[in-house]
Amino acid sequence: MFFNYVLGLRTSLMVTLAAIIALLVDVDDPWWSAMSALTVANADWTNVWRKGMQRVIGTIIGGFSGYWIALMVKNYHFFQWIAVGSLAAFAIYKRMASPNFAYAWLLGSVTAMLAIYASFTQIEGLFLLMVDRTIAVVIGVMTAAVVSYFMNEDSSLAVGIGPYLPPNIDTMDKNWVFALCVSGAAVAVIAPIVYVGHDLAAMVQIIITSLVVLYGPAVSVKKFALNRTLGCFIGGLMGFALIGLGLQSFFWWGLLLAIGLFFLASVHQGDSYWSYAGMQGGYAFVVAALASSGPVDNFNQVIDRLVGVVLGVLISIAVLVVVRIWQGADFPDIEHMNRQRALEAQVKKERP
């Protein structure tokens, strides 16, 4: 089904509560709490716990590691590029090679990269930035965990489903895996150059988009690229509509935030081809709604995020095409896709 209203309601409650708690605690970037709750939201309580702990642990380790790496390379631009490029390639590879801990590897690498990027301009406040980011993530994860615990599959508001099955690196062409990793490293180096002088959060969207898109076989890359672009466009438009109202009442602002999240989360929790667009739309929507830490109209951040997402998709695909041509592959990559289908069929045949 395209919509799952029951799970959409539960996810909307998680994310709205996380956003409100983050505003009350007064973290610098409250949308990180909302995004964390949306990310770990899942119909199965055990998956919420597993994914939530991976996000918290990955953020803590990544923030700590990134902070010290940033201090070591702060005066050496060449090593800064090497560090962010290596972390991007590492994140892409480990997501596919270690599916049980893929989310921890991704969040750890992204947080470490964020620390290095932030050190370009604000090395003095970097430690406090990492602490604030960790607090925001913990708020989101714990809120999602508590709501899930009280609305588990034994209640009338939940239905148990299985976890998402990630791509199997053993069924993928090694040249394709290498191309994904090299492309991710290249985008990590290109992003600060493209977005020089712009807001850090917007520039980071290019990086996050590349790590989302450059994942799995060719069909997955296409799906993630389309879903992320469409989802952020729709969520951004909804965010524009919300902040364009200029609401000063916290109650009505929170109610409209919950209603918008209910729609997007219902799409995300469905099982259609476009379900991932629901999550991406939710990200864009909460960033727009919480850009000013409450019901204040501020369009700049959501515009920067949308531009960063679109640039991230375009740059990632362009770099991947260049790398594949350099490897001698045809474009479109028909030969690789045929080999991928054959490998997947072989694995299914051998699976007991």
What tens digit of pLDDT does each residue of 81-135 get?
Answer: 899 999 999 999 998 888 778 878 888 898 888 888 877 766 667 778 788 888 8
Q: What is the pLDDT at residue 3?
A: 83
Percent pLDDT > 70 in the chain is 80
The residues, ordered by sequence, that sit 6+ positions from 272 with a Cβ below 8 Å of its Cβ are 1, 2
What tens digit of pLDDT does each residue of 166-177 get?
Answer: 566 777 788 888
Q: What is the 3-state secondary structure (H, E, C) of 212-275?
A: HHCCCCHHHHHHHHHHHHHHHHHHHHHHHHHHHCCCCCHHHHHHHHHHHHHHHHHHHCCCCCCH
Q: What is the pLDDT at residue 39?
A: 80
State which amino acid sits at residue 165.
Answer: L
The candidate with the shortest Cα–Cα distance to 237, out of 274, 289, 272, 293, is 289
Cα gap 261→16, rounded to integer Å: 8
The candidate with the shortest Cα–Cα distance to 213, out of 203, 223, 199, is 223
Q: What is the pLDDT at residue 343?
A: 59
The pair of structure tokens assigned to 237 is: 């438009």
Cα gap 32→38, rounded to integer Å: 10
What is the residue whose two structure tokens read 């959409």? Answer: 8
Of 331 and 37, the one with more pLDDT: 37
What is the residue whose two structure tokens read 């604030």? Answer: 132
State which amino acid sits at residue 27.
Answer: V
Q: What is the pLDDT at residue 352?
A: 46
DSSP string, 6-29: HHHHHHHHHHHHHHHHHHHHT-S-
Cα gap 83→64, rounded to integer Å: 15
CA–centroid distance for 278 within its chain = 12
> Phi, psi (5° rounding) for residue 109?
-70, -45
> Phi, psi (5° rounding) for residue 157?
-110, 20
In this prediction the pTM is: 0.75
